[in-house]
Amino acid sequence: MGKQEKIVSMFNEIAGTYDIANRVLSLGIDKSWRNKACNKAFELYNKEDIEKIVDVACGTGDMIEFWKKIAKENGINLKNIIGVDPSVGMMDVAKKKLPEVEFIEAGAAQMPLDNNSADIISISYGIRNVVQRQEAFDEFSRVLKKGGLVVISEFTKKEKSSLLDHLTDFYMNKILPTLGGLISKNKDAYIYLPNSIDEFLTTENLCKELKQAGLEPIYTKDFSMKISTLIIARKL
């Protein structure tokens, strides 16, 4: 089994408890991170009618709910939203929550979607689980309309310079695996998650990879003691 298959199978196993684990582990702050990502993307895209948003690594559909809610709050007519994920277990949970949404089983690097068809592609706390990351960015570029946006929320690697950085590190590497393990009965998955950030890229490297795919970063911001980073890039 390759690395990507192992990751997918791990998410299949923790799907049932994933939502509650997420809320507990982020102390509910991930809601505000997601809110800010949607609001900022709509502000930068600046259109009242949006034909299609594609949420990649959609998991249990969390971000899809935010896109729909924030579009409504902003008076935006969002015609269609699609969830894409390689984990059937995660999408089964999403389908129960969002029966009206179309979900497609696929990885980020090979999406069965038309060229130049999406206004916005989002991936929230999922890009670190994509093994073929550069190929995924090329694929986002193919599927996006000219001027369309990629919206990435992720835990990115930072230089650990202050006491706060070390406290964050302690939480991610010691407390998170124990708590996540208790909730999901799968401690390995929650040991993998912080490790995947440590192996993961800096914001600078991510921006470089986006540019290589013809996606120009137009907005980056850190939230909550630099735990979460929002990167928005526009297709040139």
Binding residues: 60, 85, 124
Residue located via tokens 């850190």? 222
Residues 193/114, Cβ–Cβ less than 8 Å: no
How many other C-beta atoms are found inside a 10 Å radius of the C-beta of residue 220? 16
H-only helix segments in the chain: 3-25, 30-45, 62-73, 88-97, 133-143, 163-170, 176-184, 187-198, 203-212
DSSP state of 175: I
Residues in binding site for S-adenosyl-L-methionine: 60, 85, 124
Residues near 141 by beta carbon (within 8 Å), at least 6 away in sequence: 213, 214, 215, 235
Task: Evaluate whether 121 touches 142 at the Cβ level (below 8 Å).
Answer: no
Residue pair 224/29 in contact (Cβ under 8 Å)? The answer is yes
8 Å CB contact between 82 and 63: no
